[in-house]
């Protein structure tokens, strides 16, 4: 523990105190002290009380250690069960391949025949979205047909299945293929009316099937974002489907009381998945807009925990969440409230010039620490996020020991493979600490590990930051370039700086690509490129040679 932050204990303190060797040593020490007391002072009543106290202390140490071991065993068991569930959830996912640019299929103009009466097509017409991937459309059609079969007086006479109905709709030109595995509605009936359709069970069944289909897919793919094997495919899936998910939430919010009550938790699942995706890509504005629309979904007010979480994401929650059951969810929401309040304070009170009040970093650090203490221990990602932000605040305070302490604690939470993206962020921030300490080789090693992890997880914003760290470091200190470049001979400073300009060019490209997602992000890559150009160097406009990879065993 750093000497300047006595209020935040490390988990290693308890692990050291309750380790096997320590428990045996303490028990033997208390027993030895008891024997010494008896042998030195005789059998008086006071001595017997002291000796009995020492014996009970040794028993207490062993008992506490046994409880701790049992607790750790239970935690490991729960962790294995959680990991098994998540692996089973994503094991059969089929990753989308890289996108191939082809000429877009022209979207047909939708026509309406006011005399045409078709209840099934009318249901498709009045769903929140009218563009479907094949699996989603088949799920919707199957739900409609099953509902009609249940309402029919002769369900055994059912002749059509979802694939045959889809084939008939395509043959009639009612739905048109927009490309591989995607359809849109091109013809719609005038009858029955929208009010009649929304009042019918077929529409509710179809909407439930549609939302549940996308909720299941989004939940699985957001877990896949933290898997090295599936991360690139998960990103491609969200790139393609995020507009559909966002539109689905927006349109359901406009339906008002027509949304079935049992569908609200499914919409919350979609919101959770989008929140994870936006957090990964730094799309804060999208994050808030979707949460604001989700907060207007009818029926959400009956789900207290989900309501508070959605409102918090939309910055609409004006007071700390109240306590309710389950307690771990309640405390988690309260911790996130503290965390967000501290970050808002940090953003709102930046030093903006003479006479303006600067940020009170001590107050921000206290808020982040309170959030970390309140988080449930099983919320590893939340703990890691709070500790990284706390370390960044300590860096701004110039308290390098405290920052390193928080990052080491966060690293200990992720050494078993939990939250790999958070671990890469830990390595990135630790590189800043080492650089500030003058430990340049350690800083470069940390950034190499972070870059390797970010690339494995297809995290473009993280990749851009690490390329900027390494590129700017090589511009100002090219003598360390042999650490990062593969070469048969030691590269010259000019060669190192030229490669660094390629890294900075890629960082600049990625920053520009994501500028709409983070309008306040500052990219200083061009500053260092200009510095290299001032020496007569011709900079690269692309990466010629990536920094050497340095895998982190915990990112897998």
Omega within 30 of 0 (cis) for the link into 64? no
Q: What percent of the chain is predicted at pLDDT more than 70?
A: 81
Distances in Å between the Cα of 360 and the Cα atoms of 136, 349, 386 are 51, 8, 18
Q: What is the pLDDT of residue 318?
A: 83
Q: Which of 223, 302, 214 is nearest to 266 (CA)?
A: 214
The structure tokens 């958070």 sit at 422
CB-CB contact of 431 with 487 (8 Å): no
CATH 1.25.40, applies to 328-347+359-418? yes
Tell me what the pLDDT averaged over the chain comes to. Answer: 83
Q: What is the pLDDT of residue 157?
A: 52
> 66 versus 288: which is more confidently predicted?
288
Give the best-scoring range by mean pLDDT among 9-13, 179-183, 250-254, 531-535. 250-254
Which of the pair, 382 or 96, is modelled with greater confidence? 382
CB 388 within 8 A of CB 407: yes
Whether the predicted pLDDT of 442 surpasses 60: yes
**What pLDDT shows up at residue 45?**
65
pLDDT at 112: 87
Q: pLDDT category, 227, cuts 50, 70, 90? A: confident
Going by C-alpha positions, the residue among 236, 233, 241 that lies closest to residue 215 is 241
Domain edges within the chain: 13-90, 112-314, 328-347+359-418, 439-555
pLDDT interval class at 500 (50, 70, 90): very high
The pLDDT tens digits for 118-172 are 999 999 999 998 888 899 999 999 999 999 888 876 555 556 889 999 999 999 9
Which distant-in-sequence residues (6+ apart) come within 8 Å of 371 by Cβ? 335, 336, 338, 339, 342, 386
What confidence score (pLDDT) does residue 506 get?
92
The pLDDT of residue 191 is above 80 = yes
> What does the pLDDT read at residue 478?
92
Which residues make beta-bridge pairs with 177?
183
The string of pLDDT tens digits covering residues 515-556 is 644 444 455 777 888 888 888 888 898 999 999 999 998 887
Predicted confidence band at 296 (pLDDT cuts at 50, 70, 90)? very high
- Measured from the Cβ of residue 383, the count of other Cβ atoms closer than 10 Å reads 23
50-59, 131-140, 283-292, 437-446: which has the minimum mean pLDDT?
50-59
Please report, rounded to a whole number, the percentage of residues in the chain having pLDDT higher than 90: 44
Full DSSP string of 83-135:
HHHHHHHHTT--PPPPP---PPPPPPPPEEEEEEE-HHHHHHHTSS--EEEHH
Here the tokens at position 150 are 């249940």
Distances (CA, A) of 195 to 191, 324, 358, 378: 10, 39, 57, 47
How high is the pLDDT of residue 319?
A: 84
d(CA 343, CA 337): 10
Q: How confident is the model at residue 201 (pLDDT cuts 50, 70, 90)?
A: very high
Look-up: residue for tokens 């340049």? 440
- pLDDT computed for residue 527 by the predictor: 80
């Amino acid at each position: 523990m750093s000497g300047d932050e006595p209020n935040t204990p490390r988990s290693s303190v308890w692990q050291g105190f309750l380790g096997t060797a320590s428990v045996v040593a303490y028990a033997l020490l208390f027993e030895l002290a008891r024997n010494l007391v008896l042998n030195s002072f005789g059998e008086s009543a006071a001595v017997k009380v002291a000796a009995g106290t020492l014996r009970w202390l040794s028993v207490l140490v062993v008992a506490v250690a046994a409880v701790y071991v049992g607790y750790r065993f239970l935690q490991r068991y729960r962790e294995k069960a959680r990991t098994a569930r998540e692996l089973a959830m994503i094991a059969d996912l089929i990753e989308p391949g890289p996108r191939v640019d082809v000429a877009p299929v022209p979207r047909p103009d939708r026509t309406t025949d006011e005399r045409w009466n078709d209840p099934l097509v009318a249901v498709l017409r009045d769903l929140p979205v009218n563009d479907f991937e094949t699996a989603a459309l088949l799920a919707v059609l199957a739900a409609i047909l099953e509902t009609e079969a249940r309402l029919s007086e002769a369900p055994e006479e059912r002749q059509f299945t979802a694939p045959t109905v889809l084939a008939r709709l395509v043959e009639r030109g009612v739905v048109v293929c927009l490309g591989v595995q995607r359809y849109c509605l091109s013809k719609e009936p005038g009858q029955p009316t929208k009010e009649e359709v929304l009042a019918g069970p077929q529409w509710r069944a179809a909407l439930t099937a549609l939302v549940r289909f996308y909720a299941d897919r989004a939940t699985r793919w957001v877990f896949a974002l933290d898997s090295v094997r599936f991360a690139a495919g998960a990103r491609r899936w969200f790139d393609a489907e995020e507009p559909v998910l966002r539109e689905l939430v927006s349109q359901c919010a406009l339906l008002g009381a027509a949304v079935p009550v049992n569908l609200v938790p499914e919409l919350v699942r979609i919101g959770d998945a989008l929140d994870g995706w936006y957090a990964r890509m730094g799309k804060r504005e999208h994050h808030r807009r979707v949460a604001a629309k989700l907060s207007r979904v009818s029926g959400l007010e009956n789900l207290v925990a989900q309501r508070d979480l959605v409102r918090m994401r939309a910055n609409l929650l004006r007071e700390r969440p109240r306590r309710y059951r389950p307690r771990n969810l309640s405390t988690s929401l309260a911790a996130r409230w503290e965390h967000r309040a501290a970050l808002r304070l940090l953003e709102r009170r930046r030093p903006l010039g003479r006479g303006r009040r600067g940020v009170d970093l001590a107050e921000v650090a206290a808020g982040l620490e309170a959030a970390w203490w309140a988080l449930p221990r099983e919320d590893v990602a939340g703990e890691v996020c709070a500790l990284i932000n706390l370390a960044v605040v300590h860096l701004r305070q110039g308290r390098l020991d405290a920052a390193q302490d928080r990052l080491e604690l966060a690293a200990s939470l992720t050494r078993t493979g939990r939250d790999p993206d958070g671990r890469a962020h830990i390595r990135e921030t630790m590189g800043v600490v080492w650089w500030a300490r003058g430990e340049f080789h350690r800083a470069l090693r940390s950034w190499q590990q972070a870059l390797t992890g970010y690339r494995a997880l297809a995290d473009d914003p993280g990749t851009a930051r690490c390329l900027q760290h390494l590129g700017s470091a090589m511009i100002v200190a090219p003598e360390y370039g042999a650490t990062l470049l593969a070469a048969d001979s030691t590269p010259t400073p000019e060669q190192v700086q030229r490669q660094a300009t390629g890294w900075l060019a890629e960082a600049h490209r990625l920053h520009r690509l994501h500028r709409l997602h983070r309008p306040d992000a500052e990219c200083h890559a061009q500053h260092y490129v200009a510095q290299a150009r001032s020496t007569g160097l011709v900079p690269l406009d692309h990466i010629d040679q990536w920094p050497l990879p340095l895998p982190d065993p915990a990112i897998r």
